[in-house]
Structure 1
Amino acid sequence: MASASGIDNGAVETAGRLRAVVGELSAVFYEREDVVRTLVATMLAGQHALLLGPPGTAKSELARELTGRIEGANLWEILLSKFTAPTRMFGPIDVAALSRGEYRQVYDGRATTADIAFIDEIFKCSMAALNETLGFLNERLYHPENGGAPIRCPLISAITASNELPTGEDSAAIYDRLLVRLEVDYLTDPSNFAALVRSAVDQPTAPVRTTVTLTELQHAVSVAVPRVIVSDAIVDALCTLRAALRRREIIASDRRWRTSVRLLQASAFLDGRMEVTEHDLALLTHVLWDSPAQRPSVEREVLQMVNPDAREALDIADAIEELEAQLDAKAGQSREALSDWAIKEANTKLSRAGKQLGRLRTDAETAGRSTVSIDRVIARQKAVHSRLLTEALGVDASMVQAQV
């Protein structure tokens, strides 16, 4: 039975529970709402994601918390190294059978039977396992050690993680198979950092834990998401975006553009819509860059089309970064000179930036547009303002929190 939105009632309920999952995890993992939502959309699209960031940014914990919300799924996790053998990933040799002269592999509990996978340090994949890992991610196939017909793997989606980008051609091949690339950094908002520190001593409360079943996820991936409408207007927008990025010499492959359409459908489904809108294009900021240096340019071009408030916020972010650079440059000056600059110039500019960002956030919220990019800039403004007040004016940290 179909709902008024055009999505069957079961799928509507699945989307609602997945939105609840996003909300629950975002409340636990500070400054990760966009990351969590994008990971869920990637899973719904049947694609793979990369969490890229330094150690200690909760990449593994977040991946486990999310994948653990899929009831009935075969979950598989591994930490790769350059010595990881293919049999450790896809199935060890059955020793008992070998003693009888039979060569067999044991596939239970390995990648071969996984519905959802988490692969840590993905770019440290060994040369021996490279081709099988590529086949697993791309074609969902594994070729047994003793030959014979390839085994079809039930993999829906893989979340991968790395502390660094690939450096060689071999690992670059895996990098290309990961449609979504998410940068995860340390917390920037001082209030979120304070909450993180407090969480180390506070008594934990029993968390609300929404789940979806494997069957419900499979139905969403294979049936509901592909039914989401992609209008000619969205196709035109993608063509316009591609041309804008090419002018900046940012080139994504035709395969990446084509595959990203399913991600847009997944984004709309997650929001309970039966048609892709310009709002969904924001996810392309995590798809169309190869190096992190390209990401700001991709984000600006995407937001130029879908979210003018966020685009203006990025311009304010540039001014904030410039002020922080000036603060760094003045580190060797006397406290008097530093304080004079902070009071007469920097503090005024940062306060004005905070008010502008607040207005932009209100406008975006009123218009029903995403505030993720604006929130990120607001967190950056708070961090730089806090640093200015403490380093240049000697204000106590508790007072900084009261003023931010």
Structure 2
Amino acid sequence: MTVASGIDKGAVETAGRLRAVVEELSAAFYEREDVVRTLVATMLAGQHALLLGPPGTAKSELARELTSRVEGANLWEILLSKFTAPTRMFGPIDVAALSRGEYRQVFEGRATTAHIAFIDEIFKCSTAALNETLGFLNERIYHPENGGAPIRCPLISAITASNELPSGEDSVAIYDRLLVRLEVDYLTDPSNFAALVRSAVEQPTAAGRTTVTLTELQHAVSAGVPGVGVPDMILDALCTLRAALRHREIIASDRRWRISVRLLQASALLDGRAEVAENDLALLTHVLWDSPAQRPAVEREVLQMVNPDAREALDIADAIEELGAELDAKAGQSREALSDWAIKEANAKLSRAGKKLAQLRSDAQAAGRSTVSIDRVIARQKAVHSRVLTEALGLDASVIQAQV
């Protein structure tokens, strides 16, 4: 890693600790390394993220653990519903003052004083609270109930979560304010699932817990990230990517494209670099789609430009998914039939895929290119291979990792 020399030293040191946070949380939350790093980069960029996935995928736990790593910050959390009143979010009425004929709100401990926010079920925001929520996320302001002057909120970043995509104009407006969109699903690798289950009964071991202070984070966001250089080749790449996506009828707003530049700068700083590189463009796979069905096309267009190794890995991913689907289709067949298929076909194909992916990763590392997308395919290859070994051949999931 090339250490940045042309940007603020304090910001570089903060970024180094945030890298340690990424490593610690990636070790604690299985199959979430890309999600964790992207969330941290989003926070550094001073932007907001959405965790989209079914219940029980550790969205809330991950958000709480990450936000708690900022010492001295006012953290605010809420679970929204269609009946959540704006005053519950931004400040209840001061009853004591009301008895004296004064109409005031109590802002302490609410969104109006938060530096970091976690908003669960974001798309269930009530119609009454919609406009204030939009202003809070976008302009960082709140208009008091008494009609007084707008209050400037100190919000740095919000992590939001939802089990479903938005429906209706109200929730779509909020959706557009969330720059980064991350899909979070159930664990796919049987060995990771086995480790998760074991963790419920095993005594937890003491783990490192790196933190940053609020002051350090604020400085990195306001001074460190804007100081990261953006070469003309990156700006040209954005123009080319926009044209390619429009050809596929995938259209992001001009505002989203503009703000994404700050995310690229944050990604570079997180890696300790003074300048945005092609590798950072990979984060745009979490920015430029509206529906999850569009994400693979966005990822392919991004990698088409910046990472041929990862692009080839995605082709291998398609073959891996076909094998996973074939395994699902064979549910209910006899163990003999499953074993025959696994030994003669699936195991050999998955083994070859694993070797090819390892070579692609090595080539990418040697060329200084990002391995994030390749790592994601490798994880998927291991997950499907583990399923074949456990479901078709009856091997113990607790020792699968050593097998693959």
Aligned residue number for residue 89 of structure 2: 89
Counterpart Cα distance in 2 of 1:335 and 1:60? 39
Aligned residue number for residue 65 of structure 2: 65
Aligned residue number for residue 234 of structure 1: 234
Counterpart Cα distance in 2 of 1:329 and 1:358? 28
Distance 1:395 1:16, change over 3 A: closer
Counterpart Cα distance in 1 of 2:336 and 2:205? 47
Indicate whether 1:360 and 2:378 are aligned: no
Deviates more, 1:13-22 or 1:95-104: 13-22
CA contact (8 A) 2:4 2:272 kept: no
CA contact (8 A) 1:53 1:185 kept: yes
What is the TM-score with the length of structure 1 in the denominator?
A: 0.95
Counterpart Cα distance in 1 of 2:332 and 2:16? 54
Give the letter for the 2:71 counterpart: E
Aligned length: 402
Counterpart Cα distance in 2 of 1:69 and 1:391? 39
Deviates more, 1:194-203 or 1:96-105: 194-203
What percent of counterpart residues are identical? 89
Deviation at 1:373, TM superposition (A): 1.8
Deviates more, 1:371-380 or 1:287-296: 371-380
Deviates more, 1:393-402 or 1:341-350: 393-402
Structure with the greater relative contact order (CA < 8 A, sep ≥ 6): 1 or 2?
Answer: 2
Counterpart Cα distance in 2 of 1:144 and 1:187? 43
3-state SS of 2:226 partner:
helix
Aligned residue number for residue 311 of structure 2: 311
Aligned residue number for residue 268 of structure 2: 268
Write out aligned runs for 1:346-385 (5 A): 346-385=346-385
Counterpart Cα distance in 2 of 1:67 and 1:174? 21
Aligned residue number for residue 204 of structure 1: 204
Distance 1:305 1:394, change over 3 A: same
Write out aligned runs for 1:4-403 (5 A): 5-331=5-331, 333-397=333-397, 400-403=400-403
Counterpart Cα distance in 1 of 2:251 and 2:187? 31
Counterpart Cα distance in 2 of 1:255 and 1:178? 12
CA contact (8 A) 1:190 1:382 kept: no
Distance 1:41 1:87, change over 3 A: same
CA contact (8 A) 2:194 2:397 kept: no
CA-based RMSD = 1.7
Distance 1:317 1:171, change over 3 A: same
Counterpart Cα distance in 2 of 1:31 and 1:217? 26
Deviation at 1:366, TM superposition (A): 2.8
Distance 1:384 1:116, change over 3 A: same
1:285-338 per-residue CA deviation (whole Å, 9 max, x = no partner) reads 000000000001111111122222211111111001112222333335555444
Give the letter for the 1:232 counterpart: D
Counterpart Cα distance in 1 of 2:270 and 2:256? 21
What is the TM-score with the length of structure 2 in the denominator?
A: 0.95
Distance 1:375 1:167, change over 3 A: same
Counterpart Cα distance in 1 of 2:88 and 2:114? 14
Deviation at 1:222, TM superposition (A): 1.1
Distance 1:92 1:299, change over 3 A: same
Deviation at 1:109, TM superposition (A): 0.6
Q: Which runs of 5+ in 1 are unaligned?
A: none
Counterpart Cα distance in 1 of 2:274 and 2:222? 15
Deviation at 1:202, TM superposition (A): 1.9
1:266-288 per-residue CA deviation (whole Å, 9 max, x = no partner) reads 11111111111101101000000
Deviation at 1:114, TM superposition (A): 0.7
Deviation at 1:250, TM superposition (A): 0.7
Deviation at 1:347, TM superposition (A): 2.1
Counterpart Cα distance in 2 of 1:399 and 1:192? 11
3-state SS of 1:50 partner:
strand
Deviation at 1:368, TM superposition (A): 2.9
Counterpart Cα distance in 2 of 1:200 and 1:399? 18
Counterpart Cα distance in 1 of 2:73 and 2:340? 60
Counterpart Cα distance in 1 of 2:240 and 2:150? 41
Counterpart Cα distance in 2 of 1:308 and 1:120? 37
Deviation at 1:371, TM superposition (A): 2.2
Counterpart Cα distance in 1 of 2:304 and 2:7? 30
Give the letter for the 1:360 counterpart: L
3-state SS of 1:118 partner:
strand
Deviates more, 1:152-161 or 1:325-334: 325-334
Distance 1:4 1:310, change over 3 A: closer
